Homo-oligomer: A and B are copies of this chain.
Amino acid sequence: MNRLQVELPGLSMRNPIMPASGCFGFGKEYAKYYDLGILGAIAIKATTDQPRFGNPTPRVAETSAGMLNAIGLQNPGLEGVLTNELPWLHQYDVPIVANVAGTEIADYIETTAKLSKAENVHAIELNISCPNVKQGGIAFGTIPHVAAELTKEVKNVSDVPVYVKLSPNVADIVEIARAVEKAGADGLSMINTLLGMRIDLKRRKPILSNGYGGLSGPAIKPVAIRMIHQVSQAVDIPIIGMGGIYTAEDVVEFMLAGASAIAVGTANFTDPFVCPTIIEELPALLDELEVDHVQDLIGGSWKQCNVHS
């Protein structure tokens, strides 16, 4: 038996590791570094109904143990993804998680309906951190009933399970999680980036041309762990955990907090081989921790019966 195997709605994963959305393009680039077939799943870049160029550059800035990004959802659009990206990925026997973004509910519906019919798309990841134009630009993900409504509409049209990707920029993450669970979400994916900023001292202007950007990387890991610890105890749907994962130890920490699988984002930029390295190192770490199967870790920091099997 494969001790790394994890089963989540729609996602039968040979190990709990997937690259995070937006940090792996549509896979082609990293396929030059290693065989993508070893991955547990692949979360592809956010897709919108129409192609987008995104924000002006600079789009990234480094921070202490983190980075800011304001890519602006650049992507080839629904048609481009369906025609060029997904078919190419089909050569790998790896479930694809399709990240969906939009500016109004109709966008999400349209994109989800079509993407979820693609053969290798096994799950939709609903990016609710996007600004909602109908509500003056407030992110869908910060108001429980707005997030719930979006979830419900998208669930209605999706042929595959829907994971809602939560924004950490909220006072009460549990409230949002419960709202989207009730609205039918099959799983959660958390956390997206924290909103941050850096200012160039000489130019007296933000380093990012967009001003603000999303903070990712090890800096946000303690916030991610805390939120997953809170939410996993409050909901019954599985969580794909992310936020600063760099090592096999980080993976274990996220799973002990309550994640059922994890995603690696920023770390791919620091080390393109980070996913294969983690996958390779995980079994030895399980041995060291006297854990038979990676699934035995899930929620281990709060489950009653967390003695070694």
Binding site for B on A (CB under 8 A): 63-66, 68, 142, 169-172, 194-199, 201-202, 204-206, 211-212, 215, 217-223, 225-226, 229, 244, 249, 252-253, 256-257, 289, 300-301, 306
Q: Are B66 and A219 in contact (CB under 8 A)?
A: yes
Taking A142-B172, A301-B206 as contacts, is the C-beta distance between A197 and B225 under 8 angstroms?
yes
Query: How far is A53 from B200 in the complex, measured between Cα atoms in Å?
Result: 43
Chain B residues within 8 Å of A206, by CB? 301
On whether the beta carbons of B289 and A202 are closer than 8 Å, the reply is yes
Q: Work out how many copies of this chain go into the complex.
A: 2
CB pair A249–B201 under 8 Å, yes or no, is yes
Q: Give the CA-CA distance A211 to B233 in the complex, in Å.
A: 14
| A256 surroundings in chain B (CB, below 8 A) | 199, 201, 204
CB–CB B300/A229 < 8 A? no
Residues from chain B with a CB closer than 8 A to the CB of A66 are 65, 219, 222
Residues B300 and A253 in contact, CB atoms below 8 Å apart: no
CB atoms of B63 and A221 under 8 A apart: yes
* B306 touching A204, Cβ below 8 Å: yes
A–B pairs, 24, beta carbons within 8 Å: A63-B218, A63-B221, A64-B244, A65-B65, A65-B66, A65-B219, A66-B222, A169-B171, A171-B171, A196-B223, A196-B226, A197-B225, A198-B225, A198-B253, A199-B225, A199-B257, A199-B301, A201-B252, A201-B256, A204-B256, A205-B301, A206-B301, A211-B229, A218-B219
In angstroms, Cα B65 to Cα A244, docked, is 12
Q: Which residue from B64, B195, B225, B301 sits with its C-beta under 8 Å from A218?
A: B64
How many angstroms between the C-alpha atoms of A256 and B169 in the bound complex?
A: 23
Q: Which residue of the partner chain B has the closest CB to A228?
A: B197
A150 to chain B, nearest CB (A): 16
Which B residues touch A225, using CB under 8 A? 196-199
- Which residues does chain B contribute within 8 Å of A300, judged by CB atoms? 204
In angstroms, Cα B108 to Cα A132, docked, is 39
Contact partners of A65 in chain B: CB under 8 A? 64-66, 218-219
Q: Which residues of B contact A169 (CB under 8 A)?
A: 171
Does B218 contact A223, Cβ atoms closer than 8 Å? no
